[in-house]
Amino acid sequence: MRKKIDWERQLGRRLKLRDLHVFFAVAHRGSMAKAAVQLGVSAPTVSEVIANLEQGLGVQLFDRSPQGVEPTVYGRALLKRGLVAFDELKQGIRDIEFLSDPTVGELRIGCVESISATTLPLIIHRFIHRFSQQHPDVVFEVEDIPRYTWEAKLRERALDLVLIQMGGRAAMESKSFSDLNVEILFNDQLVVAAGMQTRWARRRRIDLAELVNERWILPAPDTWNYDVLSEAFRARGLDMPKLTVNTLSVYLRTNLLVIGEFVTAFPLSLLHFHAHRFSLKVLPLDLPVRPWPVVLLTLKNRTLTPVVERFIECSRDVVKSITNI
């Protein structure tokens, strides 16, 4: 049986933040030599730091090969926990910066395009309007997050929060989200839209069967909005229409609707903000009533900076002020 590590004797008095910094550099670069170049030290210095860490822990942190190094199961465990420790330290530095100079701050937001094109601008505007004097130099770093990548970025603490649409309450209550704070801002819904220049825009009533052979712009079949439409067509005994354009891009879809005979499915909130601007029309169709929650996600047990907390406060206020969504 392996002996328990004596923290005080083996590591407590010897481990330095610099050692962990070197460890992270080696793990991320996959090479002692490359880490040395990044850190501006010699390769033997890096090797010595890693060797001392391994000696103190009594395990091998990296597998070595002529191609470089790869973290072992022990190395990955240290990476996971060390990342949290370093993130909390960085958050602490950000808090100190805020307390010493509350005018500055940084907010890293992950967001899908349909929200960055609608609700997010209002939230940022509200924040600036309310806190411009307290935080005149706050920087909003907004990242358009593709599907399936936001969880990793949030857990890796590369983002402070995420704004995204979720495919119903079941998805939000998944065990995989047990480490996340999930707050529903509002429930959106799916609608079908076309350009005002199309014949469909003049109709008071449209049967879903009439749209089977139209030019559809939709995301891939594994998306929530595709699934809702597919359910609607199946309920009528109809085949799902063939896609003319397969894309998630809000910009591409809106522009194609403006200039051509296309139909697409959008969240109602997007039409609420942009129907008049882009001359779009929500088509009068009967679709399944399926709430589409827009949620704000943060990582549990992670300290939020004052700037992040105030942004979340503005998010709630903006949602309360929006009507007809």
pTM: 0.67
Domain for residue 91, yes or no? no
Please say if the pLDDT value at position 163 is more than 90: yes
The total number of residues written for the chain in this structure: 325
- Kindly state the tokens that stand for 73: 């199961």
Q: How many domains are there within the chain?
A: 3
Please say if the pLDDT value at position 304 is more than 70: yes
**For 203-256, what is each residue's pLDDT tens digit?**
999 999 999 999 999 988 888 888 889 999 999 999 999 999 999 888 999 999
Range in 95-104, 220-229, 277-286, 305-314 with the lowest mean pLDDT: 95-104
Do 179 and 301 lie in one domain? The reply is yes
**For 68-77, what is each residue's pLDDT tens digit?**
899 999 888 8
CATH number where 263 lies: 3.40.190.10
Please count the other Cβ atoms lying within 10 Å of the Cβ belonging to residue 61: 22
Q: pLDDT grade, residue 302 (50/70/90)?
A: confident
Do 285 and 216 lie in one domain? The reply is yes
Do 179 and 194 lie in one domain? The reply is no
DSSP per residue over 303-316, as a string? PPPHHHHHHHHHHH
**For 275-285, what is each residue's pLDDT tens digit?**
788 889 999 99
Mean of the per-residue pLDDT values for the chain?
85
Do 284 and 202 lie in one domain? The reply is yes
Domain for residue 258, yes or no? yes
The confidence score (pLDDT) of residue 269 equals 87
Range in 46-60, 83-97, 183-197 with the lowest mean pLDDT: 83-97
Any idea which residue has 């990342």 for tokens? 83
Domain for residue 211, yes or no? yes
Domain for residue 95, yes or no? no
Do 250 and 108 lie in one domain? The reply is no
Most confident listed range (35-39, 86-90, 135-139): 35-39
Do 195 and 281 lie in one domain? The reply is yes
Domain for residue 97, yes or no? no
Domain span including residue 224: 190-290
User: What mean pLDDT comes out for the span 13-32?
Assistant: 83
Please say if the pLDDT value at position 2 is more than 60: no
Q: Are 244 and 216 in contact (CB under 8 A)?
A: yes
Q: pLDDT grade, residue 111 (50/70/90)?
A: very high
Domain for residue 210, yes or no? yes
Q: pLDDT grade, residue 7 (50/70/90)?
A: very low
**Distance between CA atoms of residues 255 and 278, nearest Å:** 8
Please say if the pLDDT value at position 88 is more than 90: no
User: What mean pLDDT comes out for the span 307-324?
Assistant: 84
DSSP per residue over 173-188, as a string? T-GGGTTEEEEEEEEE
DSSP per residue over 13-36, as a string? TT--HHHHHHHHHHHHHTSHHHHH
Domain for residue 39, yes or no? yes
Q: In what order do the strands lie in the sheet with 292-299?
A: 137-144, 104-111, 161-165, 292-299, 180-188
Burial class (CB in 10 A: 0-12, 13-18, 19+), 96: exposed
Domain for residue 2, yes or no? no
The confidence score (pLDDT) of residue 312 equals 95
The confidence score (pLDDT) of residue 311 equals 94
